């Protein structure tokens, strides 16, 4: 890692561009990455255009066709409210994708800033922040999130996004800090200091570009966890409106039906969650391989 960084750090812009191109070519040839992108892309399209193309409206109730098993008209069957499960699964991708991306972006921004600052300045500030972050990570993330959501506002997606971002910040900060600690030893940082560049310039213009690979990988890893967390929370009935087309909520609403042998209203959203989670992990695995960290 450190050898590689020196290499990149000392290279001209043209050479950097070359490295970037090579990495991109490697990614395109990486099977895991391609499959991951394809599945994530599919769900993203569903999230954007889903509500215009589904055979039925997601909240359309048809009481003549309640709890019908999968067939030609209702591909994934209907639930106890006479709603088409297929349409709800397609439209349900929207909320979880928007929420998990928003939470991960926020958490990455906060964690990166914190990691840059603690890794660059070190000293007592670093020690205190790192101990604090360690203390936060001793409590299972899902419990902190559930606690805060239940205490403040049980049905607010915005709040849920902020809380998940908060919970993820320590892990991201730690990854970035480790990378910055190694990076701050290089000559180009000392050179920038000698040129009396301002600290924000050194942090964001000099160091940040060189620690991007671990940040990108960490972003995708956290995105996977965010999907996991949001699905779990909405399954437990926290953070989303009851009755909204959303995979976790769909599962918990139809859970009791499995004892009447109606597996389809829960099994299909569960499989959708699994496919989304796997796709994001495939992407991060591909990136990890190409960045060689």
Partner 1 sequence: MGKNLGWINNVLKRIIPLLLVIFGSTLILSLLLQLLPVGLKDLYIAPGDPASIREQLKSLGLDGNAFTFYFHWLNDFIHGNFGYIIFPGGGREPVSNRLATALPISLRLVVYVQIFSLLISVPLGIYTAYRAGRRSDRVISYSLFAAASVPNFVFGLLLAIFVGVQLGWLPPLGYIDPSENLVGHIKTMILPVLSLSIPTIATYSRLLRSDVIATLREDYVTMAASKGLSNRRILFTHVLRPSSTTLFTSAALNMGALIGGTLVIEQIFSIPGLGTEIGIAIFSRQFFALQSYIAIIAVGYVLFNGIIDVVLGFVDPRTRERRNA
List residues near partner 1 by CB under 8 A: 131-132, 134-143, 146-148, 150-152, 224, 227-228, 231-232, 235-236, 251, 255, 258-259, 261, 263, 266-267, 270-271, 273-274, 277-278, 280-282, 285
Instruction: Pick between residue 109 and residue 135 the one whose CB is nearest to partner 1.
Output: 135
Smallest separation (angstroms) from partner 1 to the CB of 8: 25
Helix axes 247-254, 85-121, angle to 10 degrees: 130
* CB 181, min distance to partner 1, A: 19
What Å distances lie between residue 285 and 8, 29, 61, 101, 278, CA to CA?
Answer: 22, 13, 41, 18, 10
Tell the smallest beta-carbon distance from residue 157 to partner 1 (Å).
18
Q: How far is the CB of 118 from partner 1 (least distance, A)?
A: 16
CA atoms within 13 A on the CB side of 155: 5
The token duo for 48 is: 């954007």
With respect to partner 1, which residue has the nearer C-beta, 63 or 259? 259
Please identify, using beta-carbon distances, which residue of 120 and 225 lies nearer to partner 1: 225
Residue the block writes with tokens 């000698």: 194
Nearer to partner 1 by C-beta: 9 or 44?
44
Q: Minimum distance from CB of 211 to partner 1 (Å)?
A: 23
Q: How far is the CB of 38 from partner 1 (least distance, A)?
A: 15
Q: How far is CA 1 from the centre of its chain?
A: 25
Residues 247 and 231 sit within 8 Å (Cβ to Cβ): yes
Compute the distance between CA of residue 74 and CA of residue 171 in angstroms, rounded to an integer: 43
Residue with Cβ nearer partner 1 (74 or 264): 264
> Whose Cβ is closer to partner 1: residue 120's or residue 235's?
235
Helices (H), 54-84: none
Here the tokens at position 164 are: 């998940």
Name which of 55 and 140 has its Cβ closer to partner 1.
140
Determine phi and psi for 274, rounding to 5 degrees.
-60, -45
In the complex, minimum distance from the CB of residue 285 to partner 1, in angstroms, rounded to a whole number: 7
C-alpha span between 34 and 27 (Å, rounded): 8
Calpha distance 104→99 (Å, rounded): 9
> How many C-alpha atoms does 123 have within 13 Å on its Cβ side?
4
């Amino acid at each position: 890692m450190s050898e590689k960084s020196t290499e990149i750090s000392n290279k001209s812009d043209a050479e950097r561009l070359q490295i970037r191109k090579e990495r991109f070519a490697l990614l395109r040839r990486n099977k895991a990455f391609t499959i991951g992108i394809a599945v994530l892309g599919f769900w993203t399209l569903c999230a954007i255009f889903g509500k215009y193309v589904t055979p039925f409206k997601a909240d359309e109730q048809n009481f003549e066709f309640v709890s019908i098993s999968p067939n030609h008209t209702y591909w994934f069957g209907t639930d106890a409210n006479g709603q088409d499960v297929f349409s709800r699964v397609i439209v349900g991708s929207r909320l979880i994708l928007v929420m998990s991306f928003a939470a991960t972006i926020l958490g990455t921004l906060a964690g990166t800033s914190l990691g840059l600052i603690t890794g660059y300045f070190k000293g007592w500030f670093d020690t205190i922040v790192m101990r604090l972050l360690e203390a936060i990570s001793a409590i299972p993330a899902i419990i902190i999130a559930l606690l805060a959501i239940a205490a403040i506002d049980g049905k607010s997606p915005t709040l849920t996004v902020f809380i998940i971002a908060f919970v993820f910040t320590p892990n991201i900060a730690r990854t970035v800090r480790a990378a910055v600690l190694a990076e701050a030893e290089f000559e180009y940082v000392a050179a920038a200091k000698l040129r009396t560049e301002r600290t924000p310039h050194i942090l964001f213009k000099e160091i940040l570009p060189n620690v991007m690979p671990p940040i990108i990988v960490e972003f995708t890893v956290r995105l996977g966890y965010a999907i996991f967390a949001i699905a779990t929370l909405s399954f437990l009935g926290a953070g989303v409106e009851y009755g909204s087309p959303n995979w976790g909520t769909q599962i918990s609403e139809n859970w009791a039906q499995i004892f009447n042998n109606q597996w389809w209203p829960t099994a299909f959203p569960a499989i959708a969650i699994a496919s989304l989670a796997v796709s994001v992990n495939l992407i991060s695995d591909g990136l990890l391989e190409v960045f060689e960290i």
